[in-house]
Amino acid sequence: MSNSEVKNYDRFMWLLERFSLRRLRRDLLGDVYGEVLEIGVGTGANVGLYNGNLEWVTAVDLSAERLAGTVERARFVNGSYPFMAGCADAQRLPFADNQFDTVVSTLVFCSIPDPMQALAEVKRVLKDDGRFLLMEHVRGLNPITQRLTDWLHPAWFALQHSCHLNRETAVAVQSAGFHIQETSAHGWGVIQTIKAQKRER
Ligand SMILES: C[S@@+](CC[C@H](N)C(=O)[O-])C[C@H]1O[C@@H](n2cnc3c(N)ncnc32)[C@H](O)[C@@H]1O
């Protein structure tokens, strides 16, 4: 992804962020604690919004161009918490087992080629009492938005090359063995936040 594509992505997202996503991000990120891993951090939309009881944030993304923006943003929040970012694939995380207290993913599982493999990796790197917090766009949650996201998906995927409009991410999270504590639906049910635990407490 080129620098201009990265800038276009941020411009495209500005309105959505301003009127809806930022509030959801804040709510989600208020629940982080301890050592945090953010996968698919992109240009760092969450960086200034972490407000939980955290020790530090390690962030990864496949795209070096996007990470450059993230590191730039992180400089502004320096001092609030230590922040490190590097290139890595969520399907093969370069971290030890049971390393993190919280894993965060926002708008990422739509574009991971093998979501079950990435979920297995998230589970592996989370401590046993760790939490997995997601905000994802998903297959519609009612019959009308389901039909719409299924119908739009092929054209959207052809245009975007990697983004699936109709993934049922909460179902995948549960199938991967996480215990879902809470979900909430937004934007006519196409945006979903999911709060899950590695093990039931
Ligand atoms: C739509 S952007 C979302 C960025 C950011 N999380 C946000 O909330 O705005 C999706 C990001 O996921 C990253 N990504 C996609 N597949 C990935 C993978 N397998 N491993 C790591 N990052 C991935 C992309 O490079 C991109 O930066």
Taking only the tens place, the pLDDT of each residue in 32-43 is: 999 999 999 998
Q: Which residues line ligand 1 (CB under 6 A)?
A: 39-42, 45, 60-63, 66, 89-91, 106-108, 111-112
pLDDT at 10: 65
- What pLDDT does residue 8 have? 65
d(CA 193, CA 132) in angstroms, rounded, equals 11
List Cα–Cα distances, 162 to 8, 10, 13, 157, 179, in angstroms.
17, 17, 17, 6, 27
If you measure from the C-alpha of residue 122 to the centroid of ligand 1, how many angstroms do you get, rounded to a whole number? 14
Q: Is the pTM of this model over 0.85?
A: yes
The Cα–Cα gap between 175 and 160 comes to: 27
- Distance in Å, CA 31 to ligand 1 centroid: 21
Q: In the numeric block, which tokens belong to residue 71?
A: 């590191």
What DSSP state is assigned to residue 46? Answer: T
Q: What pLDDT score was predicted for residue 3?
A: 64
Question: Rounded to the nearest 10 degrees, how much is the dihedral formed by the CA atoms of 55, 129, 191, 166?
Answer: 120
Can you list the residues of the chain whose pLDDT is less than 50?
none
What spacing in Å lies between the alpha carbon of 61 and ligand 1's midpoint? 6
The domain limits of the chain are 3-197
How many helical (H) and strand (E) elements, i.e. helices and strands, does the chain have? 6, 7
Q: Report CA(53)–ligand 1 centroid distance (Å).
A: 24
User: Which pLDDT does position 6 carry in this prediction?
Assistant: 59
CB 198 within 8 A of CB 178: yes
- Topology of the domain comprising 3-197: Rossmann fold (3.40.50)
pLDDT of residue 130: 97
